[in-house]
Chain A
Amino acid sequence: MRSTYKMLAAGALIALTAASPALAGDPIRRIDILTRPQAVNPPEFQSAQLVAQEWRKLGLDVNVRAIPWEQITDVVWYNRETWDTGSWQMVGRPERSDPDEFIHNLFHSSTVEKGYNFIGYVNPEYDAVADAQRIEIDPEKRRELIFEAQEILARDEPNMMLAHSTVVLAYDKTVWDPASVVDQSGIGIRNTWTFNNITPLGDQKDIIVNSGTNLNMINPLRQSGAVDSWVVELLYDRLARVGPDGLPQPWAAESYEWVDDTTINVKLRSGMMWHDGVPLTAEDVKFTYDAAVSGEAPMYQPFASNVESIEIVDDTTLVFKLKQPSASFITSSFAKLNITPKHIWEPILEDLKTKPENAESYQEEMPVGSGPFKYVRWLSNEEVVLEAVPTHFQPPKAERFILRIVPNVEATLGMLRSGEINFLGDYPGDPQVLIDMAAEDGDLEIAQTIEMGFKYIAFNLRRAPFNDPAFRKALSRSVNRKLIVNAAYKGFAEESNSVISPALDYWRKPGLSDGFETGTDYAAKLLEDAGYELIDGRLHYPGDIKETITE
């Protein structure tokens, strides 16, 4: 009896819909949020859960799909048509102190197909601004352009920005002089400046740092992983380094000066040596940039491709000619490429040219750099040992740098207390636990820094309904960011509304959060205004839009 009634009702509904097609579109399909499993990153997983919980209040069917990072990359990068939304993060790196990478690569239409613009954001107005800031050398004018870009993003909301988290790390202050620890803006205390400068107070002169994940390689021509770069940055020198303030400063170069918009004179420090005793000269620097564009080091290619020519004047002097003016060149090239020993890598590259492999798959038996630390040994899955080079132009105060691989977070905390490690370099756990532990222990010093990176929910703009700015805005505004900060990050984060973190004070447009209204009611109103309809608790497309995507 009841089923008959239901069928009648359904029939009536169909008749009604046919009569007035503008009544409502199809119900919106189930929306997936891709995220890494909780075990890997609890706050990220929690954020996705919270976001799903809020979206469901709008009448959406939301499914949180927790899958390993590799599988997420496989979908988001290589099958760009196939996903809806995903938890994503951009991590802070010294070179990202220049806003170019976040502003240009993430949203420029040229990277839609294969690059970082995997969300498929295409906006010619934005492209123009992103291109303009790239070649604007004057910092003041460039800042205006960066501000403009941020404004456009705030208006379009191609991503749902969530938070900039707080990096909380610690070290043993009975071993290391707290005054010698350097806090790098947007990165935290785990940085090359700290490891160079950190000064022992007593007999323990080894920096013992932990990492939760293994190293992949130690290779100056490949960016093989976050932890790998900690080691590579200590083993190799670069012409410049991004300083604690986020601005580049001369390092292996004694000085560099812009002769004009596309010419830079570089003066190397004199007396630099490779760890095997061979002198480091301008030849090595030129070789480094040539190697990057030789096709044997694809990952570094983009950072050297703007170089037109390099002229060697003498052993310590070079002239760089650029193809076009570049505002971020010092940060994104001088402070990025590892100066690579020609006498070692030239024969290797020659040999590789005849093989399908490139330099990225070559692991030296004994990496030779010129940096403040030299390579001693690497035990798979256990530790990497580096030794200070006293003859370096910035000799480290510590004796050795030892990186221990500890996958178990609980054990990491135990080791920090027992002194098995004395510098916490990697801590994916609950910051409050660390802070409480330090208070109880007394020997530990905590350092907190707002990260340069950010966490967000990426929308796939290729797919309906995410191609509709109003829909995106409503989804974004349905979640109060305080909820994310408090309930996912336990207060160890700042609400985010720009890809430029508060850590990059100079580039961040102030006032973007003003009038950022949120809440279920507000979001529902936005949807209603855009023509979306709620029928039987289920959100439907506006007008007569049909659901085109089936699972």
Chain B
Amino acid sequence: MLEAIAGRPSRIFAAMFRSLRLPLNDPFAVAGLVIYAVFALTAIFADRIAPYDPTEILFTADYDLASDLMPFTEGFVLGTTSLGRDIFSQIVMGTRSALLVGITAAFMVALIGSVIGLVSGYFGGWVDMVLMRLADIAFGIPFLPFVIVLAAFLEPSIWNVVLAMALVLWRDTARVIRSQVLTLRSRGYVDAARVAGSSDIKIILRHIAPNILPMSFLYGSVAIGWAILTEASISFLGFGDPQSISWGYMLQDAFASQALAKQSYHWFIPPGLCIILVVSAGFFITRGYENILFPKVGR
């Protein structure tokens, strides 16, 4: 049976896409998806859009450091940083690391959480017991402090945030998925399938997985936001990765260079706005999902 599924990749893909149940009739959710799309395109074509290397130290025509330039001077759309980097290029390239961190972290959280929740809920017994105690422990670990410790002791890298999220934040997804699986399992047709001789793996793939996919996706969308916000906080506290430009790094750079005192709004507002846009896009999509998943809440 498994081979049969694998034999029809396009159809299985279409089926998966359908089972995501993208909330296309909710205006918020559509807005969120559009924001995602715009940033995704920016990230893909970042190399072509960004006029400079975001870490390159730039000089003006007369060999002075191109520092603290206002927007639209000397061809710098958003001006330059105190240390002579092009802000616009940093914003554009920052999209890349934001989405990279966000999407990987979301994928890890959704995947690990769903698998654990699924296994726990479906098999029950001692498996459930062990996995749920693990979840209890994960709930006992304060997340941001955990990331700080990881980021400080490992080499600074944007992947620390992803690692920390994969290690800790699967817990929320796992609990919710588990209870969903419990509900699904209690429905008659799982038992019926079992009586009919279906294997566990088949029941999971055919009857359970499709039903929990939207919930995983929902938690994934929230996780994208969490990852980006966490990365920003870590950078602000000085544990960020100086090699890869992210919006969090930009904000930290701006505050360390007294952008507030210099009233360089063109410097610290855009990265903040980008973070808000991407993160709230995730929330908007989530809301669309909630309307589908919990229709009884008559919104």
- Which chain A residues have a beta carbon within 8 Å of chain B's beta carbons? 37-40, 42, 45-46, 49-50, 53, 64, 66-68, 408-410, 413, 429-430, 433, 437, 486-488, 490
Contact = CB atoms under 8 A, between A and B. Distances in A.
A433 B258 contact: yes
Nearest to A487: B65
Contacts of B293: none
B242 A66 contact: yes
Given A38-B252, A42-B82, 19 more contacts: A37-B156, A38-B253, A39-B238, A39-B256, A42-B256, A49-B55, A49-B57, A49-B83, A67-B156, A410-B260, A429-B257, A430-B82, A430-B257, A433-B258, A433-B262, A437-B261, A487-B83, A487-B84, A490-B65
Nearest to B64: A486
Contact of A38 (B57, B59, B65, B242): B242
A32 to B, nearest CB: 12
B179 interface: no
Nearest to A413: B261
A42 B254 CA distance: 11
A269 B253 CA distance: 52
Interface string B144-176: 000000001001100000000000000000000
Nearest to A408: B255
Given A38-B242, A42-B82, A53-B57, A486 B257 contact: no
A410 B238 CA distance: 15
B256 A409 contact: yes
Please name the 7 residue pairs, one residue from A and one from B, whose CB atoms are nearest each other, closest first. A39-B238, A487-B65, A66-B242, A433-B258, A410-B260, A46-B83, A429-B258
A68 to B, nearest CB: 7
9 contacts: A39-B256, A42-B256, A66-B156, A66-B242, A409-B258, A410-B258, A410-B261, A433-B262, A487-B83
Contact of A430 (B55, B64, B238, B258): B258
B211 interface: no
B253 A486 contact: no
Contacts of B235: 39
Contacts of B238: 37, 39-40
B83 A42 contact: yes
A67 B155 contact: yes
Nearest to B55: A49
Contact of B67 (A45, A437, A490): A490
Contact of B57 (A67, A68, A409, A487): A487
Contacts of B260: 410
B258 A37 contact: no
Most buried by A among B57, B240, B253: B57
A433 B257 CA distance: 9
B84 A42 contact: no
Nearest to A66: B242
B261 A433 contact: yes
Please report whether the interface of chain B is mostly helix, strand, loop or mixed according to DSSP: loop
Nearest to B262: A433
Interface string B208-242: 00000000000000000000000000010010101
A334 to B, nearest CB: 39
B81 to A, nearest CB: 10
A67 B257 CA distance: 19
A64 B156 CA distance: 13
Interface in B260-275: 260-262
Contact of B258 (A39, A40, A413): A413
Most buried by B among A42, A53, A487: A487
Nearest to A68: B152
A46 B57 contact: yes
Contacts of B156: 37, 66-67
Contacts of B240: 37, 39
B260 to A, nearest CB: 5
A430 B235 CA distance: 20
A410 B259 CA distance: 8
A393 to B, nearest CB: 41
A175 B111 CA distance: 62
Contact of B252 (A39, A429, A430): A39
A170 to B, nearest CB: 13
Contacts of B243: 64, 66
B180 to A, nearest CB: 43
A162 to B, nearest CB: 15
Contacts of B82: 42, 430
B237 to A, nearest CB: 8
Nearest to B152: A68
A37 B55 CA distance: 14
A68 B253 CA distance: 16
Contacts of A42: 82-83, 256-257
Contacts of B252: 38-39
A67 B241 CA distance: 9
Contacts of A67: 155-156
Contacts of A45: 242
A486 B65 contact: yes
A349 B57 CA distance: 55
A40 B238 CA distance: 7
A486 B65 CA distance: 7
Interface string B55-86: 10101000011010000000000000011100
A53 B55 CA distance: 11
Interface string B185-204: 00000000000000000000
A39 B253 CA distance: 7
Contacts of B155: 67
A20 to B, nearest CB: 39
Interface in B71-125: 82-84
B54 to A, nearest CB: 12
B55 to A, nearest CB: 7
A43 to B, nearest CB: 9
B174 to A, nearest CB: 34
A413 B238 CA distance: 20
Nearest to B153: A71
A489 to B, nearest CB: 10
A203 B16 CA distance: 75
Nearest to B259: A410
